[in-house]
Amino acid sequence: MANYRKLGKTSSQRKALLRNQVTNLLYHGKITTTEARAKEIRKIAEGLIALSVKEMDNFETVEIDAKVPLKDKDGKRIKEEVEVNGKKKKVTKYDTVKKTIKKDKPSRLHARRQMLKVFYPITEVPDKAAGRKRNTKSVDMVAKMFDEIAPKYVNRHGGYTRIIKIGPRKGDAAMEVIIELV
């Protein structure tokens, strides 16, 4: 007997479906799906949340020197002419700035990579410019796990999700449920 539900799909389809639904559950906080799918999603999501809670504070802060391009009042990079091998070239001017960054320790880095195996990339599109590429931004789900979701569940040992039955689906009478973060 298998340790998981096959959900009537091939292995690649099943993995893609579960990755997609886990990503959306952790991004939105709740999704509606069938009962069998929800029980499979729960296993994966709770494992990821437990991993993020365990590795939440496992980093060190480091101060580094970063090169930042100088910009004019319009936000365009300032260029200067430099002579290289007898030819004039336009080169961007840079300024050195001190920045403080989080440097992951090895176990947190491993946890980050384990999460990246599950999450699909998410792009946020503003409501005003729906359908446009401008002003869209990529969401870092792993950072969201460590910074937003994990702190909520520090004092909780498991049971991070809740499944609520909402009745049979109209088309095929499959039991529909809402799975949400507690």
Say how far apart CA 113 and CA 27 lie, in whole Å: 18
Same domain for 159 and 130: yes
Same domain for 51 and 11: yes
Q: Which domain holds residue 145?
A: 1-58+105-182
Same domain for 72 and 50: no
The pLDDT profile of the chain, 182 residues, written as one tens digit per residue, is: 578 999 999 999 999 999 999 999 999 999 999 999 999 999 999 999 999 999 999 999 999 999 999 988 888 898 888 888 888 888 898 999 999 999 999 999 999 999 999 999 999 888 776 667 777 889 999 999 999 999 999 999 999 999 999 999 999 999 999 999 99
- CB of 43 within 8 A of CB of 3? no
pLDDT at site 155? 94
Same domain for 118 and 93: no
Question: Residue length, the chain?
Answer: 182
pLDDT at site 84? 81
CATH of the domain at 118: 3.90.1030.10
**CA-closest candidate to residue 181, choices 75, 67, 26:** 26
Same domain for 70 and 40: no
CA distances from 63 to 23, 100, 103, 105 (A): 32, 4, 10, 16
Element (H, E) at 107: helix 106-118
Q: Which residues pair with 82 in a beta bridge?
A: 89
Task: Among 41, 73, 104, give the residue marking a domain's end.
Answer: 104
CA distances from 125 to 22, 70, 134, 170 (A): 20, 29, 9, 31
**Residue type for 154, please?**
V
Task: Among 70, 104, 138, give the residue marking a domain's end.
Answer: 104
* Structure-token pair, residue 21: 């639904």
3-state helix, strand and coil shares in percent for the chain, rounded to the nearest 5: 35, 35, 30
Same domain for 4 and 24: yes
What's the total number of domains in the chain?
2
pLDDT at site 85? 83
Specify the pTM. Answer: 0.83
pLDDT at site 1? 57
Same domain for 121 and 40: yes
Same domain for 114 and 74: no
